Structure 1
Amino acid sequence: MLTCKVGIALAVLGVAVCGALGPARAFEGSSSKKEQQPSPLQQFQTGARAYMAGDKAGAVNSLLEAAKRGHAVAQWKLGRMYAEGDGVEKDDVKAFDYFSQIANAHADDAPDTMQSRFVANAFVALGNYYLDGISGTPIKADPTRAREMFSYAASYFGDPDAQYNLARIYLDDKNAKDARQAARWLGLAANKGQREAQAVLGHMLFNGIDIPKQSARGLMWLTLANGAAGSGDKWIRDLYAEAMTKASQDEQDKAGEYVSAWNKDRD
């Protein structure tokens, strides 16, 4: 049985990943250089520990070694670091390359594994790159390719961020707008707690925008989104505040009942 040590749960990744990494090989006592070489998992663990300790240069060195040997989560972490300029110089082309390696090698991974979360996130990252392209590089904006990336991660992996991004495409595409499809994907993402999807779906339902009006249900989603909003989510708080100024007491009371039932179902 694989034992997940707390130190390798790796808050550095944002989620526990022990199940995604596979078991480490037992030490067999051999003195050969080949057998003494750290496994990709061990190299990833070393890099993750260094990152958590603040040694990002050391983290990159170890993560690079693991990534070269095909460790998907190491590739994902390097992709995020280069995309954000986190401990390295920001380089979207390198980030794009790491996410592409993951997508190419792991598209058919079982969707119920821990590692699949990182694979799905790589598809979402690629989709966002394809939406706008990377300036000054051969990677140009390709909305069709972006839709393909989001659609695959949304349908095969059931990724809520991909579902939200796919819904946005259905809403924002002037030539092929499909509010019904958008609402479907928003609903799937919202039920998984994706706050942006909750906010957009709530706004649509509360105001009856492109879909039948359900004020109390819409206010429920806006309330949940507002509760999960972060420092960069002013637009969510604004949508919630706007709805609250318009909602009747009955709508507010009914929305409160919906929120309580939704939270209870998730306990």
Structure 2
Amino acid sequence: MRMTGSRRFSAISALALLAFLCAAEHAAAFDEKVFDDKTGVKPQSSPWAVFQFGFSAYKNGHKDQAVEAYKYAAENGQIGATWKLARMYAEGDGVTQDDYEAYKFFSEIADQDVEPGSPEESYVSDALVALGDYMRKGIPGTPVEANEVQAQEYYMRAAANYRNPNAQFEMGRMFLKGEGGVKASVKQAARWFQLAAEKGHAGAQATLGNLLFQSGKVVRGLAMMTAALERAAPADRPWIRSMQEEAFAVAPEADRRTAISLADDFINKGTSQ
């Protein structure tokens, strides 16, 4: 059976991740070769071996060693190390939270010439979404000012080139509201929401369901919002619940009952519509 592009990428990514995790399990064997507790990373160490050591150190709670190892590996071309540093600074994970520092690391990743479908695609894709988020609001006290047009360009690159569902969702929101230099278009918004929804993005599923509800497809729209609420991450549940409850409040009782049954079907079958 022929694999689609997205399935082929998933398979490649899974194999790459499995190989990395297996190698990382043996990272302790590299300790004496790449890292010294007093002097840190040893000169001329293999960037890949140092990256493995950083992963092992991070997993075992030695995040100070992990940061040093990741910095060395990142300076020597390991894009995964650069991404890990960006995430650590963005989240204050083992380091002082610093959005501007994270922004700079994400920017380094976004500048990489990575072909769609390569094992490193996910790093660039995630970095582009993070940069879009930063550009949307800006970073106070830094040279990074809010620029919705540039944010849209980052999202579009991740959505179109790398099929990132978070970026596709953000493009849908921009077309829905006419933000980022694009003309408001429900049709274009629905197209992007549909692409993200097919990849399991709960926010896209809920928003697409709301659009269907507003267009008169009451039962299907309610069912999609209800199923999305069940699948959503905790941070997204409040706004999805608010949207779903508002729609349920004005829907006929018979439609509500049918929608709940259909939503259960979506959830059990793992589909969004």
Which interval holds the TM-score relative to the shorter structure? 0.7 to 0.9
Please, what TM-score do these two structures have when normalized by structure 1? 0.78
What's the offset of the Cα at 1:265? 6.3
Q: 4+ runs of 1 displaced by more than 6 Å?
A: none
2:123 is the counterpart of 1:124: no
In structure 2, what is the Cα distance between the partners aligned to 1:150 and 1:237? 26
Kindly tell me: are residues 256 and 73 of structure 1, through their superposed partners in 2, closer, same or farther at Cα, counting changes over 3 Å?
farther
Letter in 1 for 2:210: H
SS of the residue corresponding to residue 112 of structure 2 reads helix
What's the offset of the Cα at 1:251? 5.1
Equivalent in 236, 241, 246 of residue 237 of structure 1 = 241
2:80 is the counterpart of 1:61: no
In structure 1, what is the Cα distance between the partners aligned to 2:255 and 2:245? 17
User: Residue 226 of structure 2 aligns with which residue?
Assistant: 223
SS of the residue corresponding to residue 177 of structure 1 reads coil
User: Residue 78 of structure 1 aligns with which residue?
Assistant: 85
Kindly tell me: are residues 214 and 151 of structure 1, through their superposed partners in 2, closer, same or farther at Cα, counting changes over 3 Å?
same
Contact persistence 1:76–1:98 (CA under 8 A): yes
Kindly tell me: are residues 87 and 265 of structure 1, through their superposed partners in 2, closer, same or farther at Cα, counting changes over 3 Å?
closer
Contact persistence 1:20–1:115 (CA under 8 A): no
- CA deviations on 1:155-214 (whole Å, 9 max, x unpaired) are 1100000001111111223683222111110111011111111121112221x1xxx331
Structure 1 residues 153-232: aligned runs within 5 Å: 153-173=158-178, 176-206=183-213, 208=214, 212-232=215-235
Kindly tell me: are residues 251 and 213 of structure 1, through their superposed partners in 2, closer, same or farther at Cα, counting changes over 3 Å?
same
Contact persistence 2:209–2:220 (CA under 8 A): yes
Contact persistence 2:248–2:256 (CA under 8 A): no
Kindly tell me: are residues 262 and 226 of structure 1, through their superposed partners in 2, closer, same or farther at Cα, counting changes over 3 Å?
closer
- CA deviations on 1:56-88 (whole Å, 9 max, x unpaired) are 111111111111112111111111111111111
Structure 1 residues 133-172: aligned runs within 5 Å: 133-172=138-177
User: Residue 105 of structure 1 aligns with which residue?
Assistant: 112
In structure 2, what is the Cα distance between the partners aligned to 1:238 and 1:17? 40
What's the offset of the Cα at 1:115? 2.1
Contiguous gaps of at least 5 residues in structure 2: 1-13, 24-33, 35-42
Letter in 1 for 2:89: Y
In structure 2, what is the Cα distance between the partners aligned to 1:244 and 1:224? 13
Contact persistence 1:187–1:201 (CA under 8 A): yes
In structure 2, what is the Cα distance between the partners aligned to 1:69 and 1:120? 21
Contiguous gaps of at least 5 residues in structure 1: 1-14, 25-32
In structure 2, what is the Cα distance between the partners aligned to 1:19 and 1:155? 27
Corresponding pairs, count: 237
What's the offset of the Cα at 1:128? 0.9
Kindly tell me: are residues 75 and 145 of structure 1, through their superposed partners in 2, closer, same or farther at Cα, counting changes over 3 Å?
same
**Higher mean Cα deviation, 154-163 or 131-140?**
131-140
Q: CA RMSD in A?
A: 2.8
In structure 2, what is the Cα distance between the partners aligned to 1:41 and 1:259? 46
Contact persistence 1:73–1:118 (CA under 8 A): yes
Kindly tell me: are residues 263 and 104 of structure 1, through their superposed partners in 2, closer, same or farther at Cα, counting changes over 3 Å?
farther
User: Quick one: percent identity of the two aligned structures?
Assistant: 39
User: Residue 17 of structure 2 aligns with which residue?
Assistant: 18
What's the offset of the Cα at 1:235? 1.2
Equivalent in 89, 92, 97 of residue 96 of structure 2 = 89
**Higher mean Cα deviation, 123-132 or 170-179?**
170-179
